[in-house]
Structure formats: structure tokens, C-alpha cells
């Protein structure tokens, strides 16, 4: 069995709560180095998680002879740079979502992966969570019949950080770093799941606005899209909503009934058919990226196939950029 020895570029919140420990929970995998531009953050993460080495320079981590796979957990604007550096060094890479801050950067990543033959994966981990696998089973099993329409609704109030000075705004609200506002940070998970369920989106357009005037990025987005099989869909996002309008819901309308589920809250899956309503609760693992990370590692060990690649992640960036009018 091939032993995977990971180096992390970035060791922020996502590594603490969603992904980092999972790399050491899979047989034949361990974390041997971490990197952060902030010395104290890199050292602290390494000491708290028992990682042997830490760096403040990404190239040094990639050049570490013991590191043979790289996890890129930085903001999207640097995903393409670090992914390409890793692949050119012959080291497979697992990149946080979205794959990059633009569709064009995704194409660059795919080109280098193809030219080098080094695989690149993207952290659309919801595809492998039991909750969403249950949703897919219901859809594929024909429980609600032929799918006729898909409707997505998401609304949340502003966060306290949204009121800070422009120079101290969180990176998710700085388009030059994140690719957009909260839409570019949260909608990728939703749109990737919909394409996982129904196929690639081939047409998309949107109307974007800034209604709260708390920051420069869009805070309200409405969109329509069409999947490759002709299925129409729509989405509405508002990140400055009143608490009474809070919503996290996808409604799938079929000829025999309907299905609704959440993307972030994991509220019970609700199935409506002529026989009545069924509410289904599904538990997810403590570290939500574990099922995908396990599949990526097994893929690299030649034991399984993982479909969360840079190629399958790229259509989501295309849709994001189309909706925002960037592409």
C-alpha cells in the first residue's frame, strides 16, 4: 500500500473543524508538514496536532522530500498557484472549494493536471456525506417520479463581521481574494450538489445586487439555469435578510411528489408523495470531509476511484461566473 504523507498549505478554521484530523484517520495516511504565512499559526497547529514540521513558505513545504501529497486550504485566489506548483513537483493535490476564484483559473489547473499526469481533487465533500447520498438515492430510485423542476432558496442575516471597515473585512467578502462575496463561498456547495444529482448545468444567468450596502460584493442574487437533460432550475440567495426570512432549502418537484432538503443545516429530508409525508434524519460524521478524504486517499493508493476531481469541479465555477456576469 502506498503511504500518503500530506503537507498542508494553510491551516485555518477548515483544517481545525472539517478536514485536518481526517487525514490521519485513514490507513496509510498521515500529515507530516503544515504551512502558514503566519509563523505563530503554523507552529501552533503543528504542536497541537502532532505534525512534525511547519513552514511559512509554500515552496519549502512542496519541496519537502517526505511530503508526497498536498492539501491546499487557502482562500480561492491562491488555489490555482499552489495546485499548479504541487502538480509540477509531481505531488497530487487536494484543493478546498471552490476549485479556484474564476473559471479561467480552473482551466489552468486542469491543463497542468493533464500535462503532468498528476491528479487534482476538489473538496466538494457533501457528495460523499450520508445525508446527501440518501437524497440521491431517493431521486435515482424514482420515489417522486420524473424530476420536473428544481428550486433553491437561501437567506441569512448579516454577520457581525460584515459591519467592519472595508480594510478589515473577512476575505470571503473581498472578491479579489474569494472570487466574489458570500455567494462565491456558499453557492458552490449547492450548485455542485445539484450537478451531482442532475448532470451538468449548460445554461445559467443571474441578476445580482448589493441591497444592504455593507460591503462592495453582491449580497443578493437571483438565477435561473438549465441542466444538460433539459431540467430547469432556479435559485435565490440573500445574505442581508431579516431573521424571519432565514432559509436553507432545496425543493425538487417530481411528477409523483416532491423532495426537500437543506445544504448546510442538515434538517430532516422531507418526501411528499400521494401516500403522505416522510421525514428522514441522517447523521453525518464528526469531521464532515472524512468520507471524501478517505476516497481520495484510496484513489491515490489504487484501491478506489474518486470522482471529485478538478475536472468535475470546474462546471461549478462556470456557473458561478455566468450568474455573476464574470464570464
Residue-wise pLDDT tens digits, 271-293: 999 989 999 999 999 899 999 99
For the chain, give the percent of residues with pLDDT over 90.
92
pLDDT in tens, 86-96: 999 999 999 99
Closest CA to 216 of 171, 188, 175: 175
φ, ψ dihedrals at 98, nearest 5°:
-65, 165
Q: CA 114 to CA 315: how far, in whole Å?
A: 17
What distance in Å separates the CA atoms of residue 20 and residue 289, rounded to the nearest whole number?
Answer: 9
State the Cα–Cα distance between residues 3 and 71, nearest whole angstrom: 15
Average pLDDT over residues 204-211: 98
Beta strand spans in the chain (E): 4-9, 29-35, 53-55, 69-72, 93-95, 120-122, 147-155, 201-209, 220-227, 232-238, 247-254, 257-261, 269-273, 276-280
Cell of 114: 493533464
| 16 pLDDT above the threshold of 90 | no
pLDDT at 12 over 90: no
Instruction: Say if strands 147-155 and 232-238 run parallel, antiparallel, or are unpaired.
Output: parallel
Distance of CA 15 to the CA centre of its chain: 14
pLDDT for position 146? 98
pLDDT band of 19, cuts 50, 70, 90 = confident
Measured CA to CA, the distance from residue 168 to residue 163 in angstroms comes to 10
pLDDT above 90 (res 195) = yes
Q: Per-residue pLDDT for 202 more than 70?
A: yes
Q: Say whether 209 sits in a helix, a strand or coil.
A: strand
Question: In angstroms, how far apart are the furthest CA atoms of the chain?
Answer: 61
pLDDT tier, 1 (very low <50, low <70, confident <90, very high otherwise): low
Q: What is the average pLDDT across 59-76?
A: 97
DSSP state for residue 146 in the 8-state scheme: S
Cα separation, 299 vs 311, whole angstroms: 15
2 band by pLDDT with thresholds 50, 70 and 90: confident
From the list 227, 248, 226, the residue with the least C-alpha distance to 236 is 248
How many angstroms separate the CA atoms of 195 and 150, rounded? 11
Enter the pTM of the model: 0.95
What is the CB neighbour count within 10 angstroms for residue 202?
Answer: 14
pLDDT at 18 over 90: no
Between 326 and 68, the more confident residue is 68
- As a whole number of angstroms, the distance between CA 299 and CA 306 comes to 6
Contacts of 119 (CB under 8 A, 6+ apart): 92, 93, 113, 299, 300, 309
Q: What number is the average pLDDT over the span 190-218?
A: 97
Measured CA to CA in angstroms, residue 61 lies from 9, 58, 83, 300 at distances of 8, 5, 13, 20
Model pLDDT for residues 80-132, shown as the tens digit of each residue:
999 999 999 999 999 999 999 999 999 999 999 999 999 999 999 999 999 99
Mean pLDDT of 241-254: 98
Judged against a pLDDT cut of 90, whether residue 259 lies above it is answered with yes
Neighbours of 163 (CB within 10 A): 11
Amino acid at each position: 500500500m502506498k503511504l500518503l504523507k500530506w503537507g498542508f498549505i494553510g491551516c485555518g478554521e477548515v483544517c481545525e473543524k472539517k478536514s485536518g484530523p481526517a487525514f490521519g484517520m485513514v490507513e496509510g495516511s498521515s500529515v507530516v508538514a503544515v504551512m502558514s504565512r503566519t509563523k505563530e499559526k503554523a507552529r501552533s497547529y503543528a504542536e497541537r496536532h502532532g505534525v512534525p514540521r511547519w513552514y511559512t513558505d509554500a515552496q519549502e513545504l512542496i519541496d519537502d522530500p517526505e511530503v508526497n501529497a498536498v492539501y491546499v486550504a487557502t482562500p480561492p485566489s491562491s488555489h490555482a498557484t499552489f495546485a499548479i506548483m504541487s502538480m509540477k513537483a509531481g505531488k497530487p493535490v487536494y484543493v478546498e472549494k471552490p476549485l479556484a476564484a474564476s473559471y479561467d483559473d480552473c482551466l489552468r489547473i486542469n491543463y497542468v493536471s493533464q500535462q503532468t499526469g498528476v491528479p487534482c481533487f476538489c473538496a466538494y465533500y457533501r457528495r460523499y456525506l450520508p445525508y446527501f447520498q440518501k437524497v440521491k438515492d431517493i431521486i435515482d430510485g424514482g420515489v417522486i417520479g420524473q424530476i420536473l423542476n428544481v428550486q433553491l432558496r437561501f437567506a441569512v442575516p448579516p454577520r457581525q463581521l460584515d459591519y467592519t471597515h472595508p480594510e478589515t473585512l473577512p476575505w470571503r467578502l473581498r472578491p479579489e481574494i474569494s472570487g466574489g462575496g458570500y455567494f462565491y463561498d456558499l453557492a458552490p456547495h449547492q450548485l455542485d450538489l445539484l450537478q451531482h444529482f442532475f448532470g451538468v448545468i449548460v445554461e445559467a444567468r443571474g441578476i445580482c445586487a448589493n441591497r444592504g450596502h455593507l460591503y462592495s460584493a453582491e449580497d443578493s442574487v437571483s438565477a435561473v439555469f438549465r441542466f444538460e437533460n433539459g431540467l430547469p432550475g432556479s435559485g435565490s440567495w440573500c445574505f442581508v435578510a431579516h431573521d424571519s426570512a432565514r432559509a436553507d432549502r432545496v425543493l425538487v418537484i417530481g411528477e409523483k411528489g416532491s423532495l426537500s432538503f437543506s445544504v448546510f443545516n442538515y434538517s430532516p429530508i422531507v418526501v411528499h408523495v400521494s401516500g403522505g409525508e416522510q421525514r428522514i434524519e441522517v447523521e453525518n460524521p464528526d469531521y464532515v470531509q472524512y468520507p471524501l478524504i478517505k476516497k481520495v486517499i484510496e484513489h491515490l493508493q489504487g484501491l478506489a476511484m474518486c470522482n471529485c476531481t478538478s475536472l468535475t469541479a470546474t462546471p461549478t465555477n462556470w456557473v458561478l461566473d455566468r450568474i455573476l456576469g464574470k464570464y
